Structure 1
Amino acid sequence: MDTNQKLPPGFSTPTELPDAQKQGEWQQHNRSWWEKNPMRYDWGGRIPAAEFSREFYQEIDARFFFDSSRYMPPQERPFDEIIPFAELRQKDVLEIGVGNGSHAQLIAPHCNSYTGIDLTGYAVQSTSKRFEAFGLNGTIRQMDAEKLDFPDASFDFIWSWGVIHHSANTGQILAEMHRVLRPGGTATIMVYYRSFLYYYITTGLFRGILQGGFLKKRSLHELVQLYTDGAIARFYTKQEWADLVQSKGFALDQLLIKGQKSEIFLLPASKFKDALMRLTPNAFSRFITNTCQQGSFLITTLRKP
């Protein structure tokens, strides 16, 4: 995470949208940040394998899916609680924000056709090389999701995990998603949730007051951005998100709150924190993040009527 990041001018509230003159500037901030900081899950240690090798991707997946299994235990494969694998066989799927392709490799073998897009050249290169390394079929393209280069009604299912809240105009992406979905099509999306525990206690009280963060940043919003990935990271309440997706023509079929196990510990990263996490049952952390809805992941399934 780049803790020296500078927010784009005008991004001053948790769900701020740019005016027309600043939208391109904001998106350039976003693209530049992710080109420099691709999501490789290497903040706890470097990947001990050659970049773009099979071992490189296997290590990324092991780290990512181990973390996700603690807040969303799989039945047969990772994310099967919210990815309808059995229903995808005859469906054309679009993924927005492929990163290094962990979800792409999960989804592509189970659908009629897979298309993945990303704003950055690095992500497109990495996911394309993953498909080559593992013999996967699909199309990977560099594309701005605010301007999808697909005809109307091109897809049956859209997947996006932790991506569109980073874009310059999240609402514009939702409008584009609605356009390219077929009638009856669905989209499962994760955006960041403005939970009381993560947003106000962990960041505001612990990082802001106890750790002196408010000596560096003037507001809670700026402090949250300092500790969050991306040049822009919006945090929504459930009502804010519901209002936004419904304003773009979607029906909201399902809403879940989940969160990483690390979120329940008000401690900086350390070996001591890692030891506490190992000793704490996953069921307990899921009770806090999922059942009590104090996690930072807001997961919704949307349907185009």
Structure 2
Amino acid sequence: MGPNDATHTTTAPRIDELEALAREGRWHVINTVTASKAGHVGGPLSAMDLLVALYFAQLRVDPENPQDPGRDRFILSKGHNAIGLYSVLAMRGFFPIDELATFDHGDSRLQGHPDMRLTPGVDASTGSLGQGLSAGAGMALGAKRLGSDNHVWVMLGDGEMEEGMVWETVLSAPRYRLDNLTAIIDLNGLQQYGWPANDDDRFDRSEPLGHVDLAAVFAGFGWHVLEIDGHDFAEILNAFSTVTEARDRDGRPSVILATTSKGRGISFTEGTYAWHNGIATPEQLAQARLDLKQEQA
């Protein structure tokens, strides 16, 4: 790892520990959004296993020193999924879990979209979809120029992949040999308005990029491509190891295409676009607690 080993997680957690953390993180998502009466649900739940694996088993970060120059960088390009990131940052110790109760309040450090000026552990302000990968490429290029071994990770949504700015970076990153850049695509297959199209639709509501072979496209642009089950921690961790070990071999950036389920882990949210966002009823919240095996406080 080089001179920055001290910022890495010192003891690799077991898969059952990661699974328990993911259930807790999903509980924080649904409970916080319900209490704040604002926020997104489906996307944070689909990405939770990936986020937990990153922050508890991969990223070189130090919650006691969030601005450590030796840290890895993470950008949540799909910034409307902020409550998922905040939940993991809180569990990792960047700020108290109790602070999640302030989510999306006017004077909170935890706004509806990530703000790097406010929130410890946030490396880029996001929310306007499509911009995160470009910012990540800039960070990766900067690290190269400085001779740093930082790794930059960017998470995007599959609906977000329809933004043209993403593809400008997909084209340019291999040119600059950014093997320290990894994109993770949360392929949950559902945009906000769902699919398939109805006869009276005025526009195409089909599955995001459902007609595109993303693996072939990224490979054609010169990226190292891995396809995984985004809810299988063994596959996730293996993918992380593969892309980090591939650095300095051929100069290719990497992309992890992670197939996930929107609303994962909660019986009434999983697999439906209707829970892109939403506020749970008391009865639904009780059901979520059971689904996620969270004891009453």
TM-score by length of 1: 0.41
